[in-house]
Structure 1
């Protein structure tokens, strides 16, 4: 940010974004020197469940070589249910915190951020990013290819390795808000409270054995969460292809990861298991999952991680298959969903519960 320029006011309603405000934002970000934005056109984009995304096309009063022709803005959800969930889990605070404090300390490719601001009392926030088009968003329902999955594992190691075992992460309050027995107890209560509604909505597509795993997770939530021990790192928390932009023949970075609302501090294997269990379709996952896990592991070591054995990685991976079960049950019931959202959660339920069952997660829980 440019010293001597006033911090832009917080605009959390995309319909209130105008040329004067964007001029202030881009000057403060150091990408607009002297000129001004004279016109703004907006378009709703993306499929976010917890927020709304807009692309803004900008016109300037003079040539501005460093200033973007388009930018992307992220704003609070207009849906009361989603906004309440965001406040409950402090997801907006986490994402703003990531771009302010942590994005520059890791190697995973993320969008350049021009502005990250939040009012913690109201929950209003705004994020403004570079426009990554012609890169395209992944499709959670369709699933991804194995080649895309390999890219995801390589980028995941680029997130985890730089801060692997870093004790200073434990001092960041907003990053550790889900730690401790109190948080685990609350999570267990929330999960068990939502479980009947989840079963009523999606249980018909699951086997009795898979449903038993879901019930057992509620019972053994504390033991399961406590079974993952340091070293910890920065975790994405919702590492799936809807939150990724892939390059196309027309351009774009090979893979850029977005939506950092569930960032946390914990065992990195949760992200790896979550993606592998939900990215490829079930037959592809079964055929390639150990190769994908090994790619993640090898990339960790190549980036300097030491003292983490392959045997431990595999053991934690089997337990971490339950991360997807947990996310699917909770998110499907607390986030307002349109028709696509329901289809997305149905696909997540099918894949994550099959993943956990394939690795005998119910037996693992009862043995903790």
Structure 2
């Protein structure tokens, strides 16, 4: 399942940490019946839950076979219910559960519960059955269909980090369309204004934005003192110029857009290709996005920079215009899904803006203990994309 395939070095930037900090202040009601451990996954519990969800109209669960999953960021397991003979046809034969502590699963539960209310179900999300969160203990669980028998990751973690992170053509197209469909569905959606998913803290107001800029400037200063001597001068100048100009971006590009809730959507916000699940048989199943614990409201291009610029080299992006073709497929899918008043030039501008913001990722990585083998290739990929898209012209 997807949580075993996710990159283990989570890119928990200050943006995400501050999302968490702000939500600690918000009143988040506890959700009942949280499963604190796999010991609590009993036939009785599963019978009751499936009945409540309308999945098990009659009969009951006699036994549950539990097979653990080596997910790094949760207690996770594949479940195989054994039903009584009078259970109806079509009951789920395989389920997947993940249990998280320390409040790390709260936002994912909130997102999926919001998504469950949408009709018809969103096809780019793994069918979700139940989620619960306990504010007192910080424990949560998510229960959904187990699609490991019908889907696979388009790129492995090892391949991604080794520089071989380009999916097969058909699978790449499916990932792009799934992401665009997610963004299109939630584009300026009314449920987002007062819902559980939030705008990242640095972009909620000018004060928060400027605080983030100061933090990044200090982070870059420390990076320069410890690692800049190893980098070419032109790369240092790119980052110096970026830091100098960051304060101006709020008024010029973000302030009014955030205030008007204009052209914003739900972003995955940790959107590497390892977060997708592609069908073994595309004629039967579609592509899924997984692991929504970092979901936020922001510019959709946030996710595009993760998938196309963070680990793709210049050669990989430019081969047969791969990056440009992916962006055009993404844009065409947005339009076909009903997004209006958002031009191709708007998308390109957003992509460049997010490149300016996300080029800082490897600096954060280095300052938080990542090895040079991890942050240097990422820095090169992002810096090359930054130059190719002439992001400095926006500063």
Which category describes the TM-score, using the shorter chain as reference length?
0.7 to 0.9
Q: 1:250 to 1:164 in 2, by over 3 A?
A: closer
**What does 1:324-343 correspond to in 2, within 5 Å?**
324-327=358-361, 329-330=363-364
Alignment of 1:1-368 (within 5 A): 9-32=33-56, 33-46=58-71, 48=72, 50-62=73-85, 64=87, 65-76=89-100, 83=102, 92-102=105-115, 104=118, 107-134=122-149, 135-137=151-153, 138-140=155-157, 141=160, 142-145=164-167, 146-172=169-195, 174-176=197-199, 178=201, 179-188=204-213, 191-192=216-217, 207-214=232-239, 217=242, 220-224=245-249, 227-228=253-254, 229=257, 230-249=262-281, 253-278=285-310, 280-287=312-319, 288-327=322-361, 329-330=363-364, 348-361=378-391, 363-364=392-393, 367=395
Once the two structures are superposed, what CA deviation does each residue of 1:293-334 show, in whole Å capped at 9, x if it has no partner? 111111111222222222222222222223543455547766
Q: How far apart are residue 273 of structure 1 and its match?
A: 2.8
Please give the per-residue CA displacement for 1:159-193, whole angstroms capped at 9, x wherever unaligned.
Answer: 12233234552222542352223443454455456
Measure how far apart 1:205 and its partner are: 8.2
Structural RMSD (CA): 3.6
* Cα separation, 2, equivalents of 1:56 and 1:34: 18
Using the TM superposition, give the Cα deviation of residue 36 of structure 1 relative to its aligned residue in structure 2, in angstroms.
1.8
Q: Secondary structure at the match of 1:58?
A: strand
**2-structure distance, mates of 1:24, 1:166:** 33
Structure 1 unaligned regions, length at least 5: 1-6, 78-82
Q: What's the secondary structure of 1:253's corresponding residue? A: coil
SS of equivalent residue, structure 1 residue 245: strand
Give secondary structure in 1 for the equivalent of 2:174.
Answer: helix
- Secondary structure in 2 aligned to 1:321? helix
Please state whether the residue corresponding to 1:306 is helix, strand or coil: coil
